[in-house]
Structure 1
């Protein structure tokens, strides 16, 4: 029972962060899900819930979407999605857990350092490729995009709407690839369904903070 309560609390907080800032669900949710569940189960739960919260949010911010940037990110993600699948299928489970922690730590340090990056079409493709790789590999697409757009000084509204639309694409493709080649577990879908009310209730105060 305590594990279920902690799960719902984590999902609620992650949902509130995602809806208020436009990012953060996977960054907050995945490390905690890895505590409660086996690595592959945790990654798939995170992707299902992330898909749900992205779908809820995109309708509110879709007018701010940068379609050309989105297309470049999607194009760039192609090779990364396939390579990340090999990481997901064949990497040691403990290594996957360490990878999530290391990625979040490195991302935090780079954000603090405020690394400046000049945006180009080529770099958009690279950012999409790295993000795609991390999505199928460990279920965390956000850090490379967050670092890249923070470094280029992209407006918050554009960042949020464009990345949300991109997440809908990469999470959907990643989930299909993972299930097709690695299977899924009943626990993934039961836990995702159980956590859905916490996800939706957390989005309400997040939306309020975003609009306030």
Structure 2
């Protein structure tokens, strides 16, 4: 049963990551926490997210806003060490609760039409927040999703720029995680077993992306966030 659930999680999250540009870590992490320790779940998430970003980068490179990407990267270089410090210092159960609250806050702000003007400084700031969340909980997506949704960026530009940013940040974050937390056989065997389903998710996600319009894209975003946030919150409280 655990293996089947693991495969379903990875396949579904891969489809969402490919079609939306942010879905994998937000969807996969809460459910991976049911099957693995916090450290293992984060590392498995980083490995798969890195594979997906790397596989898509050449296909979607024309959609990347290079100026925004550079500012996000600069901000993340400040945020990643902060995230590692949080991960090493905070109780892991409290960290899981924090993940659920962060996820739940996002759709509330988005549904009530939270808007923020995009500036160079804010690009760097949200890059920094994203960097800290990547190394602490393996989830860079929430702050970028909130920021870019608030600016009404086109879905193609959102997916392209965030995937390029993830390729950089997941690479560095995985190295930092392995250095500070170590790793084990479970992480790499589980990742190898599920890799074919990641590849299947890449293919299915590309098909979905071509068929989803901007409005549907937004509703999918809200649904993903509400479902995963509530699920993880109730799991923590129980």
Bucket of the pairwise TM-score, normalised by the shorter protein:
over 0.9
Q: Kindly state the Cα deviation for residue 100 of structure 1 after the two structures are TM-superposed.
A: 1.4
TM superposition score normalised by structure 1: 0.97
TM superposition score normalised by structure 2: 0.86
The within-5 A match list for 1:98-109 is 98-109=97-108
Q: Kindly state the Cα deviation for residue 57 of structure 1 after the two structures are TM-superposed.
A: 1.6
Number of the residue aligned with 2:77: 78
The aligned length equals: 211
Q: Kindly state the Cα deviation for residue 90 of structure 1 after the two structures are TM-superposed.
A: 2.1
The within-5 A match list for 1:119-158 is 119-158=118-157
| Segment of structure 1 superposing worse, 142-151 or 195-204 | 195-204
Q: Kindly state the Cα deviation for residue 52 of structure 1 after the two structures are TM-superposed.
A: 0.7
Number of the residue aligned with 1:5: 4
* Unmatched segments (≥5 aa) in structure 1: none
Tell me, yes or no, if the aligned pair for 2:80 and 2:135 is still in contact at 8 Å: yes
Q: What is the SS of the residue equivalent to 2:209?
A: helix
Q: Could you report, residue by residue, the CA deviation over 1:111-150 in whole angstroms, capped at 9, with x for unpaired residues? A: 2122011000000000000000000010000010010001
The within-5 A match list for 1:34-45 is 34-45=33-44
The whole-number CA distance in structure 1 between the counterparts of 2:207 and 2:159 is 15
Tell me, yes or no, if the aligned pair for 2:39 and 2:181 is still in contact at 8 Å: no
Q: Could you report, residue by residue, the CA deviation over 1:74-96 in whole angstroms, capped at 9, with x for unpaired residues? A: 00111110000011222111012
The whole-number CA distance in structure 2 between the counterparts of 1:124 and 1:134 is 15
The whole-number CA distance in structure 2 between the counterparts of 1:41 and 1:111 is 31
Alignment RMSD (CA, Å): 0.9
Q: What is the SS of the residue equivalent to 1:59?
A: coil
Number of the residue aligned with 2:219: none
The whole-number CA distance in structure 2 between the counterparts of 1:31 and 1:118 is 30
Number of the residue aligned with 2:183: 184
The whole-number CA distance in structure 1 between the counterparts of 2:197 and 2:98 is 27
Number of the residue aligned with 1:90: 89
* Unmatched segments (≥5 aa) in structure 2: 212-238
